[in-house]
């Protein structure tokens, strides 16, 4: 990494003191004040702040030239790259909302999401183009290909003026108001048709404002191996850049490559999902890498076991923060794990300014210690689901005063110290013989077996009980599935006993590590 010593960030500091600002404005400030400081790194490609600001301007000119207006949308579906990041920032500079889409989506789903948000341009790469072509799906939106593949106009040909910058033209300034759409994050579709979650510039500004408390700043180097379409990634990506740090991008997660990059670039921050942390901590050579530069590690998006958190705290320098919340916003909790080693089984306490409550199936609040669905409200909340007022209304719970809260669909319990323990997704709860069974309870038991590496428990139909729990287990070495089931059933109540346990090579997961339990349920033959 280039040595950039004590840069003058007075203008950025003053700007960050405002009640509201925008990420594109901060990109401009850093580009002017710290042009030679590193901003983005991807493989052998590097872009300093001055070059990033110029590239963002150049892309913005092209977007405006093509008639994309403030408030309209563009879609991006590709692996992480510098051009991807710069295009996202350019859209924001033009007041355009960006819809980052998952490359793992089916071609049919991609077409549906692009049509749903009425994207004016579609940015993609070769891997996505091939999947669309193989499926024979028609997407009429004009395409620009980051890697120059033949499935659209090559990115470098699409850009105006070579060389850049050109004195003839700069982007037309756009006033970006707090409620304007920043991005549309489409839900994974694992629970039905993907919904476009509209996040505003005000909502993202809240994420930026919290960044200083996590140690982000001009000397930060954040390594990101999760994809740029995920809010999991973006809640670290934008605060790092907004506060003048450098982001190191990985196209795909690989344990050895991740550790090599972390050591090489002397990373200070990273965001990982639990399955990535597990794979890193299990890597035989993990302790040989110098990770002493690390200031803070973050985790979100999936259940994070207390044992894994403890292992990270013991062996990986720097702090560990777990975020719990939804892309939709509303109720968010934070566990500062290094300060609360006795609370590692929880997801922490509500963030400052966040009101989190638990309700029963009738919508009534439950007492401390009782289990209920998690609902929350804060100043950081989505504008709503794109073109889905019905879904937006269904996501809202109102208290007796009519105050609106976002429903999470998660089930949890507060302890006496207001630390929240997650039980499960409400839809994943198993009702067997009239009794509520929480898969997470059973998963914790099964994980205690010495021959179990990973497990997911789902409910499947049962003539006798309505539903019954079945475990899918990834084993360590030689294992006997029936022996593991008998061992686990001896440790749980009669109503919780597993009716079956299947050994599998791996669990189906989304790109950000969530187990796709619907796939397990749908594929179970009984």
| Residues 461-481 pLDDT 10s | 988 888 899 999 999 988 999
In terms of Cα–Cα distance, which of 73, 35, 41, 38 is closest to 54? 35
Q: Is the pLDDT of residue 23 over 90?
A: yes
Predicted local distance difference test score (pLDDT) of residue 4: 40
Rounded Cα distance, 454 and 475, in Å: 7
Rounded Cα distance, 135 and 107, in Å: 6
Q: Is the pLDDT of residue 3 over 60?
A: no
Average pLDDT over residues 493-499: 90
Which of the two residues, 134 and 526, has the higher pLDDT score? 134
Beta bridge mates, 462: 466
Predicted local distance difference test score (pLDDT) of residue 1: 38
Which of the two residues, 162 and 337, has the higher pLDDT score? 337
- For the stretch 175-204, pLDDT in tens is 999 999 999 999 864 344 689 999 999 999
Spans of all domains in the chain: 10-204, 429-523
Domain 10-204 fold is Rossmann fold (3.40.50)
Among 76-85, 287-296, 372-381, which stretch is predicted with the lowest mean pLDDT?
A: 372-381
Rounded Cα distance, 95 and 30, in Å: 20
Rounded Cα distance, 318 and 266, in Å: 12
Predicted local distance difference test score (pLDDT) of residue 211: 86
Q: What is the CATH number of domain 429-523?
A: 3.30.300.30
> Is 10-204's fold the same as 429-523's?
no
Residues near 395 by Cβ (< 8 Å), separated by ≥ 6?
328, 385, 406, 407
Q: Report the length, in residues, of the chain.
A: 526
Among 164-168, 412-416, 484-488, 490-494, which stretch is predicted with the lowest mean pLDDT?
A: 164-168
Residue 418 to residues 130, 349, 407, 412, 504, Cα–Cα distance (Å) = 49, 6, 19, 11, 38
Residue 468 to residues 439, 459, 494, 516, Cα–Cα distance (Å) = 11, 5, 12, 18
Choose the most confident range, by mean pLDDT, from 282-286, 300-304, 327-331: 282-286
- For the stretch 255-273, pLDDT in tens is 999 999 999 999 999 999 9
Rounded Cα distance, 452 and 344, in Å: 21
Rounded Cα distance, 144 and 152, in Å: 5
Q: Is the pLDDT of residue 342 over 70?
A: yes
How many Cβ atoms are within 10 Å of 273's Cβ, its own excluded? Answer: 25
In terms of Cα–Cα distance, which of 224, 222, 248 is closest to 46? 248
Rounded Cα distance, 204 and 92, in Å: 11
Predicted local distance difference test score (pLDDT) of residue 165: 63
Q: Is the pLDDT of residue 164 over 80?
A: no
DSSP, residue by residue, 120-180: EEEEE-HHHHHHHHHHT----S-EEETT--TTSEEHHHHSSSSSS--TT--PPP----TTS
Question: To which H or E segment does residue 30 belong?
Answer: helix 23-33
Burial of 312 by CB count in 10 Å (0-12 exposed, 13-18 middle, 19+ buried)?
buried
Tell me the pLDDT band of 212, cut-offs 50, 70 and 90. Answer: confident
Using DSSP's 3-state secondary structure scheme, residue 282 falls into helix
State pTM to two decimals: 0.87
The DSSP letter of residue 116 is H
Mean pLDDT of the chain: 92
Rounded Cα distance, 474 and 278, in Å: 13
Average pLDDT over residues 397-423: 94
């Amino acid at each position: 990494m280039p040595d950039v010593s004590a840069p003058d960030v007075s203008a950025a500091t003053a700007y960050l003191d405002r009640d509201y600002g925008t990420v594109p404005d901060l990109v401009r400030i850093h580009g002017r004040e710290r042009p030679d400081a590193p901003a983005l790194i991807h493989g052998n490609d590097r872009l300093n702040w001055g070059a990033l600001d110029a590239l963002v301007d150049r892309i913005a000119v092209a977007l405006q030239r093509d008639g994309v207006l403030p408030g309209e949308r563009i879609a991006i579906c590709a692996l992480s790259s510098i051009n991807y990041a710069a295009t996202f920032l350019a859209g924001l500079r033009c007041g355009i909302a960006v819809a980052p889409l998952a490359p793992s989506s089916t071609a049919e789903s991609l077409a549906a999401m692009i049509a749903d948000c009425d994207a004016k341009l579609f940015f993609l790469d070769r891997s996505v183009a091939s999947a669309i072509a193989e499926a024979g799906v028609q997407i009429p939106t004009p395409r620009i290909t980051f890697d120059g593949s033949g499935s659209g106009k090559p990115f470098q040909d699409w850009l105006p003026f070579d060389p850049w910058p050109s004195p003839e033209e700069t982007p037309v300034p756009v006033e970006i108001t707090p409620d304007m759409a920043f991005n549309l994050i489409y839900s994974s579709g694992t629970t039905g048709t993907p919904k476009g979650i509209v996040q505003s510039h005000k909502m993202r500004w809240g994420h930026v404002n919290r960044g200083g408390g996590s140690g982000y700043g001009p000397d930060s180097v954040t390594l990101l191996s999760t994809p740029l379409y995920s809010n999991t990634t973006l809640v670290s990506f934008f605060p790092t850049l907004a506060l003048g740090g450098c982001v190191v991008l990985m196209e795909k997660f690989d344990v050895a490559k991740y550790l090599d990059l972390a050591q090489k670039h002397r990373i200070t921050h990273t965001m990982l999902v639990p399955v990535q942390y597990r794979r890193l901590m299990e890597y035989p050579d993990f302790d040989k890498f110098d990770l002493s530069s690390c200031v803070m590690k973050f985790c979100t998006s999936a259940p994070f076991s207390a044992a894994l958190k403890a292992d990270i705290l013991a062996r990986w320098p720097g702090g560990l923060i777990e975020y719990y919340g939804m892309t939709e916003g509303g109720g968010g909790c934070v566990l500062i794990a290094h300060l609360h080693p006795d609370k590692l089984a929880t997801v922490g306490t509500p963030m400052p300014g966040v009101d989190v409550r638990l309700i029963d199936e009738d919508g009534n609040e439950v007492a401390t210690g009782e289990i209920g669905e998690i609902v929350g409200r804060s100043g950081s909340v989505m504008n709503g689901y794109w073109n889905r007022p019905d879904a937006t209304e269904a996501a809202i719970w109102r208290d007796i005063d009519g105050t609106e809260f976002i429903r999470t669909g998660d089930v949890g319990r507060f302890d006496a110290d207001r630390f929240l323990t997650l039980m499960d997704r409400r839809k994943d709860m198993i009702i067997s013989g009239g009794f509520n069974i929480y898969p997470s309870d059973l998963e914790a038991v099964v994980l205690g077996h010495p021959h179990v590496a990973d497990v997911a428990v789902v409910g499947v139909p049962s003539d006798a009980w309505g539903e019954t729990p079945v475990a899918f287990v990834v084993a360590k070495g030689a294992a006997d599935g029936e022996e593991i089931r008998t061992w686990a059933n001896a440790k749980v109540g009669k109503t919780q006993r597993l009716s079956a346990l299947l050994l599998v090579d791996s669990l189906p997961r989304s790109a950000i590590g969530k187990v796709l339990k619907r796939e397990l349920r749908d594929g179970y033959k009984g």
